[in-house]
Structure 1
Amino acid sequence: MSKVHRTPDARFAAIPDYPFAPHYHDLAGGLRLHYVDEGPRDATPVLMLHGEPSWSFLYRKMIGPVVGAGYRVLVPDLIGFGKSDKLTDKSAYTYARHVAWMREWFEALALDRVVLACQDWGSLVGLRLVTAMPNRFSAVVLSNGGLPEGQDAPPAFSAWRSFSKYSPVFPVGRILQRATTSALPPEVVAAYDAPFDTRASKAGARIFPSLVPLGPNEAVPDQKAAWAVLEQFDKPFTCCFSDGDPITRGGDALFLDRVPGARGNPLHRTLKGGHFIQEDDPAGFVAAILDTAGMAGV
């Protein structure tokens, strides 16, 4: 049984530009999941899902503008990240468990008419939620992510996977900086480091690249089943990939070809920045969300 680590609140005391009240949900297995919940509770929910090795802090520049447009914004921290509990054994993390944890939280909040905004692992988890509960989603906005089903890994991702497995150090804040085109202030780099106060607390961040179904992977059958649903999803689906991400560049083509809601959608756009577009072009990502929600009529 993996030990559970809970990052002390003091680690988050000096986080800049993150004035959001914490909310917590206790999952059935005893893990505590943290999430941001801003805006009117009866408004259309916009679910923003982060990837690895970031946390809800990644969306801090986007939450206010979307709330200001009249939406309810929810930004959970995946288990193993941010203010959520962290399992300290890498083997305790699986793709299926991440989807199950997030679905349990989603259903507990009885979310409906949701607009999903996702990137990186946020798309791997979020798109699985969409395909498990397509009637609960009104639209999808995807940036720098995907739903891989066993394809060969791009060279840049293979290098990242090897680094995460074998590097003696795993400097989360500096990793975020290397994956952005804008210069992150020292306090922002520190904010990305804040959730990980022990070496063992990084177990989830370390194992995530190995769980991505690029190449042979136990999740491939589930991914193919999810794609079968996504190929019937005809609600607005907008891609806003960046022009400077070596890992996901060109990944939008698959969705434009296979997802009905993406075909002929005039809202697709290219944003300027690196992998973590929320840091490099948050306004562009916000505009894509609001335009897509408008197309969906929510």
Structure 2
Amino acid sequence: MSASDWGQLLLLGFLWGGTFFFARIAVAEIPPLALVLYRVSIAALVLHLWLRMRGISFAPALARPGPFLCVALFNNVIPFSLIFTGQTEIGAGLASIFYATTPLWTILLANLLTADEKLSATKLAGVGLGIAGAALMIGPGLLSNLGGPAWAKLAVIGAAISYGFGVVYAKRFKNMKPSVVATGQLTASTIVMLPIVFLLYSPEAIVTSSVPIWAAVAVLAVFTTALAFILYFNLIASAGATNASLVTLLVPASAILLGTVFLGERLEPFEFAGMTLIIASLLIIDGRLFRRWMTQKS
């Protein structure tokens, strides 16, 4: 990846780490599915205004409703719903660690579903180590309910798998402007979520008078969604699906820091150990440190 790609990856990791922190605040008073609707609809509005200000046409997205519905389901509707529901029971740091398994699922799915991102021996070793890390994180908690119920942890794992499908599927938009792709995806997500939320909840159940809650919703929508997805689709176009999914390596660090400092959360030792294995697996998959070490030896 280029220096520009790495800069965008670092910024995206910081933004998406904040997602778990602000979501943990918001789900205290807003039902998870309603929070999904607020997040995608506000972000879609912001991006439509952005396109209008920049003079960028939204017509290419309107011409492909089916693909945008699919990417909306994989990248927004399913994972946001699962993560926000899981975060009613588990903290920001723990949720971000389970989310960090996304590259493992992306690599496996890219091998099955694409022709240009196949498994190599190095990637296979990294995937094996990452699966061991995920098992270490999940196993003790499943047996003892440490850190929250098993279903909440499995919900976030399900979100990571959905993101894996989403990042592979999004490769088909690489010739479209990232801002148009992000706007189309979030617009489709809003259309899907509107009837679901209004069928399930009364107006009183999805509205709060708390200023901090609405501030958290605004940050989720504008920064961790609208801005973040422009960066995300730009990375997929320039660096590939697998490299873009490596952003999840950076997410837990910012989420854990925010959760520890502001929400008083703590993680179990086995969860840190599992995360260490996942970090090691991603470094192996990326291969840069290993190649540099071999160059220095020679």
Fold in common (TM above 0.5): no
Higher helix share: 2
Higher relative contact order (CA 8 A, sep 6+): 2
Higher strand share: 1
Bigger Rg over Cα: 2
